[in-house]
Amino acid sequence: MYIAHTIAELREHLGAYRHPAFVPTMGNLHDGHIALLTRARTLGDVSVVSIFVNRLQFAPNEDFDSYPRTWQADCTRLREAGCDVLFAPKEPELYPEPQTFAVQPPSELADILEGHFRPGFFTGVCTVVMKLFACVQPRVAVFGKKDYQQLMIIRRMVSQFALPIEMVAGETERATDGLALSSRNAYLSAPERAEAVHLSQALQRIAQAVRSGHPDLAAVEAEQMQALAARGWAPDYLTARRQHDLQPLTAGDAAVVLGAARLGTTRLIDNLELRQQPA
């Protein structure tokens, strides 16, 4: 595995390839990341993974400084999984001067759900992803569905800027009890880890209400929010939305159920895609 710490090193090494397949990450890798890499290896002539903890997508009160950084373990996992190139720039390499230019996604998609509770988050995400795309110049980029809203926004960014990149979505990887794999799961204590599965279970209950054509989804969503709160969670949202734009459901829409909630000091997100609901 070739490790590039500078943009110049990366570009020189990738000059020999025509079809890079790229997986951007913030490190602290788990099986979900490795599944994305495994997919990427089938889609290009060289696989590239980046590790960069992006300050721009963290609010001042969020966990930038404490975000898990596990460099040696990450390198070992990537080598064992057959990664060809690891791009691991330091902050001054990617942001040598204040990043005063930014990619601003549309408010109707970026200021709801995650964007409502994390103002500016998607501007930070889009800006760093655009910059990483400029560095790697991939032909394929693989993102996980666990960050459903993020995937949707980046897909639209690629489309509107006419970037020559094929966007590929990887399914959410889960533990045996149903918990979505996440780098932030490392923050959970043992009792919290046992409790964490209740987020996906709450989403399953809302999904079942959608499938059955329940006449009052808002009541079901509120009930599941209250149930989590009663267990000691601080839920931000649990809601069923249209898959294609994350707006409120109407009859016949393909739906996705999304949720975010804090357990102790750890904020977890998850989602479940549903097939077309009854008209």
> Which residues are known to be catalytic?
33
β strands within the chain, DSSP E: 2-4, 20-25, 46-51, 85-87, 140-144, 166-170, 233-242, 254-263, 266-276
Residue 70 burial class via C-beta count within 10 angstroms: exposed 0-12, middle 13-18, buried 19 and up: middle
d(CA 264, CA 114): 19
- 142 touches 151 (CB < 8 A): no
Exposure pattern of 25-46 as b/e (b: 16+ CB <10 Å)? Answer: bbbbbbebbbbbbbbbbebbeb
One-letter amino acid for residue 130 of the chain: M
Q: Give me the residue label for tokens 């094929």.
A: 166
Nearest residue to 261 via CA among 117, 143, 149: 117
Both tokens assigned to 274: 């549903």
